[in-house]
Chains A and B, each alone.
Chain A
Amino acid sequence: MTAENRISRRTALMKLGVFFNGVVGVFLAVPIVRYLLSPVTREKKFGYESWLSLGGLEQFPAGQTRLATYRNPLVNDWDGETGNIACWVRRVDDQTFQIFAINCAHLGCPVRWFPQSNLFMCPCHGGAYYQDGSRASGPPERGLFQHRYKIENGKLLIKAGEMPTPGQPVARKAGGKPTCA
């Protein structure tokens, strides 16, 4: 064997080694990426939303809008208070409700209800909504986000579990009339 041949054999081995590491790298990258994307792919979870009770109907007098809170369905022990979520419950009449997410449809700040003027107002950028959640003024492009609801055994149940944001397909579809009553 000549010296040149030996060097090229070493070079070939080095290239093979790099290729081998590349294969191992891909082998490792797949689980790493799956781990990183788990909040998106939800492999271990059956969707984020589920039916939650807001309590008995008697808490919500007809014609009024009241603050209700619930514990998010998907929480860990260390989530603390952040697992408690608020929403506005408007009882239109005996069987008709509107459940508004607390988050402003502009950038998610908590809207406040003013029963005297029948308006929701946002403290961040000045969005305002009418009592039925439709946009009244300010920067929001749409009305308040609404949760689906149903009534079972005298209790008000809502479908919730994910923070509503303006870009969600769910959020785009809802916002009109409640899907069940």
Chain B
Amino acid sequence: MRVIQKVGDWFDLRLQLETPIRETAEHPVPRETASWFYVFGSAALTCFMLQLVTGILLALIYVPSAGEAWNSLQTLNHGVALGWFIRALHGWGSNFMVAIVLIHMVQVFLFGAYKFPRELTWIVGVFLLLVTLGMAFTGQVLRFDQDAYWGLGIGASIASRVPVIGPWAVNLMLGGPIIAGATLSRFFALHVFVVPGLLIAFVGLHLLMVLKLGINEWPMPGRVVRRSTYMQEYHELTHKQGVPFVPNAVWKDIFFSGFILLAIAVCAIHFGPFGPGGQPDPTIIQTAPHPDFFFLWLYALLSFLPPAAETPILLIGPAIGILVLLALPFVAVEGEKSWKRRPIAVLAILMIAVALGTLTQLAEHTPWSPVMDAWSSDPIPPQYVHGRTALEREGALVFQAKQCHNCHSLDGQGGQRGPALDAVALRLTEDQLIRQVIQGGGNMPAYGKNLSPAETTALVAFLETLHPASQRPARNASQAVVRGGSEVPPR
């Protein structure tokens, strides 16, 4: 033991670190903050450490070249011992990191931790969220497959809409005229050098401020933050009733971080690495590009925005969102911290969570996209052709052959871009069906030029049969009178 003590003393004489480390470890924190609610920040840091280590391990094999990247990922998956596991750890680590950063942010928001004097800590935290998302997006590009390729195309198309400098921004982002080697190289530089550098710098600042200003106390309803008195109150909380950070609070951080690491490892083993998907060959167009989980909500949003509003919302929306986050600590610098006295804060979190959750869920099913192979793979349900006339069956054939099924479902099968047609005859009369098919409208292409009169007649005859047996199809009541006959019998 004496030898260890001597070696320790030798180093400390030169490094002079023992005192600051001891002071940091033993600094008093408010008693109630030794809580399971205060473990998310350290867990996010743990995730980042894991990403750093696994990222370096992947860089030993990965080739950041458009011609080779995909092959090197295959080698990692299949040709290197446990390469798949390192890729899986990095991929799942990224998902966990984004999730924990978001949870940390929600906790900090609901506990009022952004109020005086921790405004700057919150602002640096907002930048940390942005760089974390930046890491997630650039990392998705490095998994250079079809999704990455077309994801870059989407990014370029969005960038091109910036007024005046749009086309330049595209060239700058792609490093040239098309998505190619230069594009991957610059995203590699961003993902491996630039963004992690920012991340480390921001994490350092963030931690420094947490240490200097002290961890946010447990919010009590009625204990209102005032600039004039807060510092004195916090000093009393920590120095009169506080406990040392080590070990009273830190043991929960340590256990939670270990649990998160274990969860990432279990996911990595059970689910394996993400992709890579198809080769990044832009001449293979049989593909349906899909972003990673944390950008799915954006994917959904992009298909629901009205075309005219899309560009302004895409360009101004994020700026407004970031400004709101940055302005928050200045708008609500004093006042109640407890979420029990801040109903609007709680409602805002719930609303954002429901909105993001709904959009993400929709993006998993992409009801706005035509099902490209429904016309050849999803048959017409037998009950819809059973006992029908030859003309009506011919109409069912037209329905398949003209790809109507790609956008319209029958009995739950097929696309959901347009309305389901199981009971369309109840909604539209024969004339209205003909008009809709020929002229389109309401987001449906016009088929007038692509259908012969015979095909239209057959198709409409088929559509006229699509109604529940117990209900009569819609009909134009005046027509029978005008034609001089009695009522037209329902088909």
Contact = CB atoms under 8 A, between A and B. Distances in A.
Interface of A: 36-37, 39-40, 48-49, 67, 69, 72, 74-86, 102-103, 106-112, 114, 116-119, 121-126, 128, 130, 136-141, 161-163, 165-169
A137 B167 contact: no
B154 A107 contact: yes
Contacts of B176: 39, 48, 74
Contacts of A74: 176-178
A117 B403 contact: yes
B447 interface: yes
A166 B283 contact: no
A72 B178 contact: yes
B34 interface: no
B456 to A, nearest CB: 13
Interface stretch (B76-84, B300-308, B332-340, B461-469): B300-308
A137 B445 contact: yes
Contact of A82 (B158, B179, B289): B179
B11 to A, nearest CB: 35
B181 A79 contact: yes
Contacts of B299: 124
Given A78-B181, A107-B154, A163-B156, A37 B417 contact: no
Interface stretch (B222-230, B261-269, B367-375): B367-375
B401 A126 contact: no
A19 B181 CA distance: 40
A161 B369 contact: no
A74 B175 CA distance: 12
11 contacts: A39-B172, A69-B283, A78-B66, A79-B180, A82-B181, A102-B285, A110-B287, A121-B406, A125-B369, A137-B445, A162-B177
Contact of B67 (A79, A122, A125, A163): A79
Interface of B: 65-68, 149-150, 153-154, 156-162, 166-168, 170-172, 174-183, 279-283, 285-289, 299, 302-303, 305, 307-308, 310, 368-370, 372, 375, 401-404, 406-407, 417, 440, 443-447, 449-450
A86 B370 contact: no
Contacts of B171: 39-40
A79 to B, nearest CB: 4
B174 A39 contact: yes
A117 to B, nearest CB: 4
B180 A107 contact: no
Contacts of A112: 285-286, 372
A109 B153 contact: yes
Contacts of B159: 165, 167
B180 A116 contact: no
B372 A82 contact: no
A77 B181 CA distance: 9
B172 A124 contact: no
Nearest to A108: B153
Given A72-B178, A167-B170, A125 B445 contact: no
A77 B65 CA distance: 10
